[in-house]
Amino acid sequence: MHSVSADHVVLATFIFVGVFFVIATLSASHLLARSKHDEAKLSTYECGSEPVGPPWVQFRVGYYVYALLFVVFDIETVFLYPWAAAFGQMGIFIVVEMFVFIGILAAGLAYAWKEGALRWR
Amino acid sequence: MSETVSPVMFLILAFATIGGAVMMLSTRNVVHAAFWLLEIMVATAGLYLLLSAEFLALVQVLVYAGAVSVLVLFVIMLTLRRREDAIRPYEPSWAGTIIAALFLGALYMAITRFVPVIAEMPEKVPGVADFGREMFTTWMLPFEVASLVLLAALVGAVWWSKGGDGR
């Protein structure tokens, strides 16, 4: 087994505080708040407006493009991290490489834009 | 300290992973199953971190827990029409039982015959910069091909969803 570094202790503390905060606030509201449910209270919350129709509706397939765009550029961001770390030792070559990568993804974004997939309807 | 912390952490994370997988498969509600999948992904990231594979843990959290689980939830939202659709039917059958028994037998045989080869941990764990240098030189072509795969997925999704304009 290898050693546990100080970073791991910080991370463990962070996770512990995060989990503890959720449990503490939820149980505090459970203990302190009155639990009296009526029809208006149990209805779906839609930013204060009267809810229209059932909350379980089928969403338009166009939203899938937004999710996929998020995935694609999330992966790009992940690759940028080792790229930035190795940047200092590598020179111009690595810049060209990353620009090709981003360029290919940008072509996909341009296609989605051209087809109107990014228009909010 | 390290000799005692890591096995305990491993046991907690292994329990979270396997327990989450059992819960994911046994829950009747597909939305709950998606959230159990998210829990499994985060616990797996913890296992990677325990192996000092920091970049892999980062990818696991950012891409799998952050993006792929969102994609799974989107697919559920896009396909379900009513609340009742989210509940998977419970249909036990003899065929399923036989297949599960065969799989269990095969798994048992594989585990009993397995001779573990424990790899030596390197003295110095390679950092993200070493990983980046390796990726942008030796693995340059697969890296660029990855962008083409992502492009194909994106163009395919845009093209496919064009038919759904009116709905």
pLDDT at B54 over 80: yes
Residue with tokens 């689980």: B69
Q: Is the ipTM of this complex over 0.95?
A: no
From A35's Cα to the closest Cα of chain B, the distance in A is 25
Per-residue confidence (pLDDT) for residue A48, from 0 to 100: 78
- Below-70 pLDDT ranges, chain A: 1-5, 121
Domain range list for chain B: 1-81, 126-167
pLDDT, mean of residues B16-35: 93
Q: Which of A14, A72, A89 is the best substitution to test chain B (most B C-beta atoms within 10 A)?
A: A72
Q: Give, in words, the CATH class of A6-114.
A: mainly alpha
pLDDT at B1 over 50: no
How crowded is residue B142: how many other Cβ atoms within 10 Å of its Cβ? Answer: 10
Q: Retrieve residue A13's tokens.
A: 């503390």
Per-residue confidence (pLDDT) for residue B13, from 0 to 100: 93
Name chain B contacts of A63, Cβ cutoff 8 Å: 74, 77-78
Reported as a single tens digit per residue, the pLDDT across B130-151 is 888 888 888 889 989 999 999 9
Distance CA B139, CA A115 (A): 33
Q: What percent of chain B has pLDDT over 90?
A: 41
| Chain A 48-87, residues with CB within 8 Å of chain B CB atoms | 54, 56-65, 67-72, 74-79, 81-87
Q: Retrieve residue B141's tokens.
A: 């072509």
Domain B1-81: assigned CATH number:
1.20.120.1200
Per-residue confidence (pLDDT) for residue B160, from 0 to 100: 81
Contact (CB, 8 A) for A117 and B161 = yes
Per-residue confidence (pLDDT) for residue B4, from 0 to 100: 58
pLDDT at B20 over 90: yes
What mean pLDDT, rounded, does chain B reach?
A: 86
Name chain B contacts of A67, Cβ cutoff 8 Å: 70-71, 74
Per-residue confidence (pLDDT) for residue B167, from 0 to 100: 43
**CA A30 vs CA A24, A38, B101: distances in Å:** 10, 17, 45
Total-model pTM: 0.78
**CA B29 vs CA B7, B33, B60, B70, B166: distances in Å:** 33, 6, 24, 17, 30
Reported as a single tens digit per residue, the pLDDT across A47-61 is 878 877 777 777 777
Per-residue confidence (pLDDT) for residue A4, from 0 to 100: 57
Contact (CB, 8 A) for B155 and A108 = yes
Reported as a single tens digit per residue, the pLDDT across B82-124 is 777 778 877 888 998 999 999 999 999 999 998 888 777 777 7
Contact (CB, 8 A) for B158 and A117 = yes
Distance CA A85, CA B127 (A): 9
